[in-house]
Amino acid sequence: MSDFRHRTLYVIRHGECEHNVAGRVAGQNDSPLTATGRAQARANGVLLAQAAGDLSAFGFFASPQHRAASTMELVREGAGLSATDYIADRRLMEIDFGDHTWMTIAELDAGGHKRLSAQGWDDRRPDGESWADVHDRVGRFLRSLSSDAVIVTHGGTARMVRGHYLGLSPEDILRYNAPHAGIMRLSQGTEAWFGE
């Protein structure tokens, strides 16, 4: 097992998707990137090449979900790399919202369900995961890293990567919201942001 805190990680959330525009939670289901999302992904590739320089020693990892995989391919193209040379890893998938998948915030509120931002660390959606579950699987992924890495993932998963790396409490982890445009660099115990 590696100490991933000695590595440099570039963490990128997938570009904007149709479900984001519609205000729905997709969880482990999928919807395509919008034109804005595709542009965000390409721009993040350019930013990555500028921020990291030589990427030859980096491992590239993405959630296998279509929105993250598509984003990774566009990021790699934007960075001047072969689009498909990366590893898809299920441990980087978004939280499984179970029975609440595809619901809007209004539908969650109308049904008396907790908003995602109010969901406790150990609260599990019916037939879904808790944040603690996601934290555990992301930790397993991070401990398996053998090189510096570029990671394309989801908002909830990016929270967990950041939380593990910086040693944050569950409360601090859940306060973070990763935007679609820009790149988070975690290096030498610090965090930096590139982009919007």
For each of the domains in the chain, give its residue range(s) and CATH number, in order of start: 4-194 (3.40.50.1240)
Residue, of 14 and 125, whose pLDDT is higher: 14
Q: Note the pLDDT tens digit of each residue in 65-116.
A: 999 999 999 999 999 999 999 999 999 999 998 888 888 878 877 776 665 5
Q: Is the pTM of this model over 0.85?
A: yes
The alpha carbon of 80 is separated from its chain's Cα centroid by a whole number of angstroms, namely 22
Is the torsion defined by CA of 19, 134, 168, 44 positive or negative?
negative
pLDDT at 100: 81
The pLDDT of residue 25 is: 86
CB 74 within 8 A of CB 15: yes
| DSSP string over 124-179 | --TTS--HHHHHHHHHHHHHT--S-EEEEE-HHHHHHHHHHHHT--HHHHHH----
Evaluate if residue 117 carries a pLDDT over 60: no
Q: What percent of the chain has pLDDT over 90?
A: 76
Q: Could you identify the residue written with the tokens 């395509």?
A: 32
At residue 182 the predicted structure's pLDDT band, cuts being 50, 70 and 90, is very high
Q: Categorize the per-residue pLDDT at 43 as very low, low, confident or very high, splitting at 50, 70 and 90.
A: very high
Mean pLDDT of 28-43: 96
Task: Give the C-alpha separation, 68 to 181, whole Å.
Answer: 13
- In whole angstroms, give the CA distance from residue 162 to residue 11: 8
Interatomic CA distance for residues 62 and 57, integer angstroms: 17
**135-177 pLDDT per residue, tens:** 999 999 999 999 999 999 999 999 999 999 999 999 999 999 8
